Amino acid sequence: MSPQRRCTRPACLRPAVATLTYVYADRTAVLGPLAVYAEPHSYDLCAAHAERLSAPKGWEVLRLQFDATATQVPTSDDLEALADAVREAAHVPPPTDPPAAGRRGGHLRVLGPQD
């Protein structure tokens, strides 16, 4: 993940803080926290453009809670929560003791700070 992604609006150089995706079947625009990775069919927006976002007539804008001042680099707590969510979704029990840095543990690998 890039340490700082820019707003995808033309000529805007501000850092992105939110991600916009469209659910065409439901005629809904979803604005939420900045996605971990840039996706080809989503749009990263700065705080100013996220605030002023509007949708076409007949569409609904769903605004999820996010902190526009939050750091963009995930913390170890965020990564552990993500790993727990993946294990839960895959119905894989968590390891009994955490693996050492750089060693494989289940289907996820723990990386040390130099990785």
- The one-digit pLDDT tens for each residue of the chain (115 residues) are 446 889 999 999 999 999 999 999 899 999 999 888 888 889 999 999 999 999 989 999 999 887 766 555 556 666 677 777 777 766 655 566 665 655 555 566 667 676 5
Question: What residues are paired with 20 via a beta bridge?
Answer: 31, 43
Write down the pTM of the prediction.
0.56
* Tokens 């804008």 sit on residue: 61
pLDDT at 53: 93
* Tokens 């390891």 sit on residue: 95
CB 94 within 8 A of CB 43: no
CB 27 within 8 A of CB 21: no
* Tokens 């700070």 sit on residue: 113
How far apart are alpha carbons 33 and 10 in whole angstroms? 20
